[in-house]
Amino acid sequence: MSAKQPLVPSPGAKVNLEDYDPRYCGNYDKKSAREAEAALEERLPELQERLYAEGKQALLVILQAMDAGGKDGTIRRVFDTVNPQGVRVTSFKVPSPDELARDFLWRIHREVPPKGYIGIFNRSHYEDVLVVRVNGLVPEHVWRKRYDMINEFERLLAENGTRILKFFLHISKDEQKKRLQERIDDPSKNWKFSMGDLPVRERWNDYMAAYEDAITLCNTPYAPWHIVPANRKWYRNLVVTQVIVDALDAMNPQYPPATLGLHQVVIPD
């Protein structure tokens, strides 16, 4: 690609996803991207260990994408070197009757990572301005108010020590078709295919419009959106890993000081 594609839209700017090429990969090829990712994977476990040991900050990673967009694959690949003891993954499915009886953020707030942890949301509260909007599950005047509610919720988290990184894994409609077909053709992937994916695909343009509004209206300095070109999995993995490592570096977690007199302790035989 000749021009560098932005990763984070300018806050307040209207997002048009047609301006973002899902095939973009910068100056990388598969080999160089994996080499760069490998170097980051050596850094990530150390930063995570410091975050866990310090116990004063948390990192929340939010992954959103169309079906077959690569949320599961991103989680497996990016976090394959970290200590699972300090990571919590939450996959948000259709709300239960108990969850529907409460405000839409109730089930989300319960899963926010405690201090010292990395929390990963596979889908999130944004489903309530995506699926809910496209399928008309609540009136427009209800879901329209949710953008401000989401911003205030994320501000609350940020002001209480949770760093928030939001990723939209951007794939093309053609790439989605290819990946869905692979799920049909490969017996080991049959379980991933759902007939429900097809009606969602038919409303692709409606979902793109909903994503554009969600990213535009909820792209804040304290909880920025990253539009990740995701047609090439190896570039997607590099980008997400780089952003997470950079964020943890900026958080700069520190090991707690040793207990007073620790170095004078003698371990008995």
Question: Is residue 1's pLDDT more than 70?
Answer: no
CATH number at residue 137: 3.40.50.300
Backbone angles phi, psi at 228, to 5 degrees: -95, 120
Angle at the Cα of 109 from the Cα atoms of 219 and 155, rounded to 5 degrees:
35
Angle at the Cα of 7 from the Cα atoms of 179 and 14, rounded to 5 degrees:
100
Rounded average pLDDT over 183-197: 92
Any residues with CB less than 8 A from the CB of 213 and at least 6 apart, and which?
129, 147
Is 255 inside a domain boundary? no
Domain count, the chain: 1
Angle at the Cα of 172 from the Cα atoms of 166 and 177, rounded to 5 degrees:
120
Is 263 inside a domain boundary? no
Greatest pairwise CA separation for the chain in angstroms: 71
What pTM value is reported for the model?
Answer: 0.94
pLDDT tens readout for residues 30-50: 999 999 999 999 999 999 999
Domain that holds residue 90: 17-250
pLDDT tens readout for residues 112-162: 999 999 999 999 999 999 999 999 999 999 999 999 999 999 999 999 999
